[in-house]
Amino acid sequence: MSNAYDEAYRRSLDDPEGYWGEIAEDVRWIKKWDRVLDSSNPPFYRWFPGAEVNTCFNALDRHVEEGRADQLALIYDSPVTGNSVRKFTYRELRDEVACFAGVLRANGVAKGDRVILYMPMVPEAVIAMLACARLGAVHSVVFGGFASNELAVRIDDAKPKVIVSASCGIEGGRIIEYMPLLDGAIDLARHKPDCCVILARPEAKAQLTPGRDIDWAEAMGKAEPADCVPVLATDPLYILYTSGTTGEPKGVIRDNGGHLVALKWSMKHIYGVDPGDVYWAASDVGWVVGHSYIVYAPLFHGCTTILYEGKPVGTPDAGAFWRVISEHKVKVMFTAPTAFRAIKREDPNGELMKTYDLSHFKYLFLAGERTDPDTLHWAEEKIGVPVIDHWWQTETGWAIAANCIGLHEFPVKPGSPSKAVPGWDVQILGPDCAPVKDGEIGAICIKLPLPPSSLPTLWNADERFKDAYLAEYPGYYKTADAGYRDEDGYLYIMSRTDDIINVAGHRLSTGGMEEVLANHPDVAECAVIGVADDLKGQLPLGFLVLKAGVEKGHAEIVSDVVGMVRDKIGPVAAFKTATVIDRLPKTRSGKILRATMQKIADNEDYKMPATIDDPVILDEIRSALEGIGYAGARRS
């Protein structure tokens, strides 16, 4: 028997223009489209060509007009600044955004100009993003605290008219002063912005450069509010830089129209939230999750969104998330699996959770990297709500695969983000570009055209867009993830395609081995990489982070996991070596830096990742590898 999901998915592939055209009626357009999808210039497809719209109007002004003026739009919760909380109704947030749009306009920003935002997790970051959208300017958010050279590369690529920044950010207990980093980036960059607008925070004094820098508060005091500017649906809303294999960042473009249509639809149909509900994406505005699900989608749908400046543990303890959920009556939360592994490590029995009222909490969504079954089961057991893995990328802007609970809630299968979301024609391809059988691992690809809100191209780099994503599998977008589909249509995302290792001719998934390691009762987190071997080509090597309070010896735990992999995957895996470490190297968004670890193990040169959370940890990894007979690599 078919259900609402099956019907929606089938229609989205059979009649994409009819399907998305109906959904688009939920948006407030200034001018309707000439047609839903322009396929005249493949692979550069465009959604809603000819339509005019304003993203900021649909996020704020329409709700003020339609009766939500006094509903909370944004809650800022910051345990790192003394548990300060600021709340904005839709009317208040609209007025702040209109005023800051006036600041930008007074400093020459107009439709099509770029504005770089180098900001911490404060309401002013959201205000600045929406102000750019209000003017039709293109914002590019760069994670606050990025090194000067990385920021300079983005300045030269985007060529911003204005940069918006702050005196500092706060990472846990550390104050990170932004002005020296910003000054260094502008010195390095060939392109120079006309001016910088700087938010002064009490935690650090802002040393303003005369003639260049403008104080946020002073500028807001003199600004004239700006109205929404019509833009084409196909005009860019933002550029978000993601790491490229060449070491140069790729500027992913998001358009205005398709982004608005798909993200608004996703709130109800994927996440199951209604207007007025409180929704929390525990991410950062510097990442795609922050763009899509802290700022835009919740506001498009008339929800209350939470901006959290803190960590899952340490601000002040592993009960931080439960406090926020309880205090603000969160219905749905979205975060990364690594956050829950950190909580599980610090509070394995979930004792801190018991002191908070979680009765409003209905669903936990996880994404960012593969959710191992052990973490999923722990969260299900301790919280008592459905825990839903879903899968997407910076390039896609929203979920490729998910349990679409607003359409039809499927049974959860641990290790799977469920089925492809309507609009995404997902195929598992072999090296010959032909689909593989159910259960066989292959390259996960998406048949063109991609649905609304996915990247139409890269900023000023059409050829690179084709080379990076479309050339290897003609007619398809290459996700660079590997996995398989089971007989029920559930997808399993096992690893990046470059994390499939070849052991004596056998293609094996490191993700599958990690799943086994994570089932050990003493293991909080783990990673498996493939290291070079003269005999077998590659061999798997495991890294184990243990739960707090474990008394069992490290050698015994390593012996346990070696045996577990042999039992679950078989001798073919040749998994014989693992080491216990204190922590795994990660990006600030929580992704484990497996490729860097592999280069260290194989004694190859590597570049310090721009997004690494703490560079010191790579020295710890090198020491651990040397302890088991692997030489450390040289940093280039």
Write down the pLDDT at residue 94: 98
536 has a pLDDT exceeding 80: no
Q: Are strands 46-47 and 213-215 parallel, antiparallel or unpaired?
A: unpaired
- CA 401 to centroid of chain Cα atoms: 14
Task: Spell out the domain ranges in the chain.
Answer: 4-310+390-483, 504-627
Write down the pLDDT at residue 506: 62
Write out the two tokens for 393: 């990328």
E strands in 219-311: 231-232, 236-242, 250-255, 278-281, 304-308
Write down the pLDDT at residue 395: 95
Q: Which of 40-54, 136-150, 190-204, 461-475 is least confident?
A: 136-150
Each residue of 113-126: pLDDT tens digit? Answer: 999 999 999 999 99
163 within 8 A of 185, measured Cβ to Cβ:
no
Write down the pLDDT at residue 437: 94
Each residue of 129-164: pLDDT tens digit? Answer: 999 999 999 999 998 877 888 899 999 999 999 999
Each residue of 454-500: pLDDT tens digit? Answer: 999 999 999 999 999 999 999 999 998 989 999 999 999 987 666 66
In the DSSP assignment, the letter for residue 341 is: H
Question: Given CA atoms 379, 383, 386, 387 in this order, what sign does their dihedral have?
Answer: negative
Q: CATH number for the 504-627 domain, one of 3.30.420.240, 1.10.3720.10, 3.90.1150.10, 3.30.300.30?
A: 3.30.300.30
pTM for the complete prediction?
A: 0.84
635 has a pLDDT exceeding 90: no
47 has a pLDDT exceeding 50: yes
Q: Per-residue pLDDT averaged across 201-227, rounded?
A: 96
Q: Which of 18-27, 239-248, 599-608 is least confident?
A: 239-248
215 has a pLDDT exceeding 90: yes
Neighbours of 318 (CB within 10 A): 23
CA angle 457, 428, 20 (to 5 degrees): 50
Write down the pLDDT at residue 634: 47
Query: Which CA distances in Å does 271 have to 3, 231, 317, 377?
Result: 17, 29, 28, 20
573 has a pLDDT exceeding 90: no
In the DSSP assignment, the letter for residue 424 is: -
SS (H, E, C) 19-53: HHHHHHHHCCCCECCCCCEECCCCCCCEECCCCEE
Asked, as a colleague might, if the bond just before 43 is cis with ω within 30 of 0, I would say yes
Residue whose structure tokens are 């309401």: 123
| Nearest by Cα to 596 from 613, 573, 621 | 621
Question: In a 3-state reduction of DSSP, which class is residue 420?
Answer: strand
- d(CA 423, CA 18) in angstroms, rounded, equals 12
Write down the pLDDT at residue 243: 66
Write down the pLDDT at residue 370: 74
Write down the pLDDT at residue 602: 86
Query: Which CA distances in Å does 218 have to 200, 208, 578?
Result: 10, 13, 57
51 has a pLDDT exceeding 90: yes
Write down the pLDDT at residue 636: 40
- d(CA 12, CA 309) in angstroms, rounded, equals 38
244 has a pLDDT exceeding 90: no
Asked, as a colleague might, if the bond just before 456 is cis with ω within 30 of 0, I would say no
Residue whose structure tokens are 């998305």: 20
The single-letter code of the amino acid at 545 is V
The single-letter code of the amino acid at 16 is P
Query: Which CA distances in Å does 476 have to 245, 253, 417?
Result: 19, 18, 21
Backbone angles phi, psi at 505, to 5 degrees: 90, -5
- d(CA 230, CA 53) in angstroms, rounded, equals 5
Write down the pLDDT at residue 360: 97
pLDDT band at 507; cut points 50, 70, 90: low
- d(CA 245, CA 40) in angstroms, rounded, equals 30
pLDDT band at 504; cut points 50, 70, 90: low
The single-letter code of the amino acid at 69 is A
Write down the pLDDT at residue 333: 98
pLDDT band at 541; cut points 50, 70, 90: very high
Each residue of 282-339: pLDDT tens digit? Answer: 999 998 999 999 999 999 999 999 999 999 999 999 999 999 999 999 999 999 888 8
Q: Dump the DSSP string for 104-163.
A: HHHTT--TT-EEEEEE-SSHHHHHHHHHHHHHT-EEEEEETT--HHHHHHHHHHH--SEE
Question: In a 3-state reduction of DSSP, which class is residue 351?
Answer: coil
Q: Per-residue pLDDT averaged across 587-613, rounded?
A: 80
Neighbours of 52 (CB within 10 A): 18
Write down the pLDDT at residue 7: 97
| More confident site: 548 or 252 | 252
Helix axes 179-188, 148-158, angle to 10 degrees: 50
Q: Per-residue pLDDT averaged across 64-77, rounded?
A: 98
Q: Measured between alpha carbons, how far apart are the two ends of the chain, in Å? A: 58
CATH architecture type of domain 4-310+390-483? 3-Layer(aba) Sandwich (3.40)
Write down the pLDDT at residue 245: 47
Q: Which of 376-380, 540-544, 597-601 is least confident?
A: 597-601
